[in-house]
């Protein structure tokens, strides 16, 4: 090996950091604690003038389903951050307690409920889509969804809609 | 850093927010808006006046939801008035710091 190979190359001048112009968030979970992060990130994006596209798939469909949007729960089992042993988290009533605690904390911070968050996002110009396959799997129709959902689309359609976006999976 | 808006010298941070709300004037607001491609209308002024009054009362700039609930200008209209991001722009034009909340 010659020493020339060990010479550190002159680093190129760092390129100016390009601002984010579009984010696409895949919401795949339907628990209250997993619904909020996607909705809040999307809202913050719109507030900063960043385009936001949301794709609700699998259990994330519950966030935009009329019957479930007001009844999302915090998961107390299989959620290590709850700091409650799994066996205790599984006792009757634990989920209801954790859910009402989280709702109260959110209220204190003046964070709207999930239904209002979805309405706010649509008003802000974010685009909301439901996943065709998840809809078929859970046997839901467009009538089951909140009116803020623009369309039911396939994953391939989602990639078209997300052109140029940074994709976040939740 | 110092920034000149229509002959007024004002102190701003790196993002262009005024660091002293007292250096603000309607002239400065119009110049900041112009920089963001916005021509201020009476509807804009309704938002800006609300933001300044609310910040004076609360000690912090209002978030977008607060503006939409209390100023009489709803979310859709706010995005129409400040298309490049009402969360930051309303505060910036009103000479206030960047809001801390995400809502």
For A90-126, give the DSSP string: TSTTHHHHHHHHHHHHHHHTTPPPHHHHHHHHHHHT-
Domain boundaries, chain B: 2-93
Q: Which of A14-18, A138-142, B13-17 has the lowest mean pLDDT?
A: A14-18
Residue A1 has pLDDT above 60, yes or no: no
Q: How confident is the model at residue A107 (pLDDT cuts 50, 70, 90)?
A: confident
- Name chain A contacts of B84, Cβ cutoff 8 Å: 49
- Please check whether residue A7 lies inside any domain of the structure: no
- A80: CATH: 3.40.1260.10
Mean pLDDT, chain B, whole residue set: 90
Q: A47 and B88 in contact by Cβ < 8 A?
A: yes
Instruction: Look at residue A13 in the predicted model and tell me its pLDDT.
Output: 62
Determine the structural domain holding residue A115 and report its residue range.
22-169
- The catalytic position among B2, B14, B102, B103 is B102
Number of C-beta neighbours around residue B68 at 10 A? 22
- The set of residues, in sequence order, having a beta carbon less than 8 Å from that of A88 and lying 6+ positions away, is A94
In a domain, A14, yes or no: no
pLDDT (average), residues A71-88: 80
- What does pTM read for this prediction? 0.84
Please say if the pLDDT value at position A7 is more than 70. no
Q: What is the mean pLDDT of residues A121-150?
A: 96
Percent of chain A exceeding pLDDT 70 equals: 91
CA count, 13 A, side-chain hemisphere, A107:
6
Using pLDDT thresholds of 50, 70 and 90, give the confidence band for residue A87.
confident
Task: Indicate whether A12 belongs to any domain.
Answer: no
Residue B22: per-residue pLDDT: 85
pLDDT at residue A5, as a whole number: 57
pLDDT digits (tens, 9 = 90+) for B60-70: 999 999 999 99
Catalytic residue check, B102? yes
Tell me, yes or no, whether A87 lies in a domain: yes
C-alpha B59: how far from chain center: 15
Number of domains within chain A: 1
CB contact under 8 A, A123 and B75: yes
Among A22, A31, A5, A18, smallest CA distance to A95 is for: A31
Asked if residue A15 is part of any domain, the answer here is no
A3 domain residue, yes or no: no
| Within a domain: A34 | yes
In this structure, the strands spanning A51-56 and A22-27 are parallel
- Cα nearest neighbour of B92 on chain A: A48
- Chain A hits for B85, Cβ within 8 Å: 46-50
The least confident of A155-169, B4-18, B26-40 is B4-18
- The pLDDT assigned to A14 comes to 62
- Cβ contact, residue pair A123, B83, below 8 Å: no
| Residues in CB range of B6: below 8 A, 6 or more apart | B27, B28, B30, B31
């Amino acid at each position: 090996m010659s020493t020339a190979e060990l010479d550190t190359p002159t680093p190129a001048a760092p390129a100016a950091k390009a601002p984010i112009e579009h984010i696409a968030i895949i919401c795949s979970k339907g628990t209250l604690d997993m619904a909020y992060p996607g909705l809040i990130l999307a809202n913050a994006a719109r507030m900063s003038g960043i385009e936001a596209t949301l794709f609700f798939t699998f259990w994330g469909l519950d966030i935009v389903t009329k019957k479930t949007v007001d009844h999302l729960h915090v998961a107390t089992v299989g959620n290590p951050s709850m700091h409650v042993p799994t066996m205790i988290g599984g006792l009757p009533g634990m989920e209801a307690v954790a859910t009402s605690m989280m709702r109260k904390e959110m209220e204190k911070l003046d964070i709207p409920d999930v239904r209002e968050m979805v309405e706010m996002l649509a008003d802000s110009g974010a685009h909301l889509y439901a996943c065709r396959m998840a809809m078929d799997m859970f046997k839901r129709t467009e009538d089951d969804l909140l009116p803020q959902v623009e369309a039911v689309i396939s994953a391939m359609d989602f990639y078209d809609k997300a052109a140029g976006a940074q994709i976040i999976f939740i | 850093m110092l920034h000149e808006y229509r002959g007024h010298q004002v102190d701003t941070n790196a993002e262009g927010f005024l660091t002293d709300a007292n250096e603000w004037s309607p002239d400065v607001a119009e110049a900041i808006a112009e920089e963001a491609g916005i021509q201020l209308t009476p509807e804009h002024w309704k938002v800006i006046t609300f933001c300044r009054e609310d910040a004076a009362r609360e000690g912090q700039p209002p978030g977008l939801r607060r503006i939409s609930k209390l100023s009489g200008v709803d979310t859709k209209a706010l995005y129409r008035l400040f298309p490049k991001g009402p969360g930051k722009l309303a505060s910036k034009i009103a000479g206030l710091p960047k809001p801390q909340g995400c809502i």
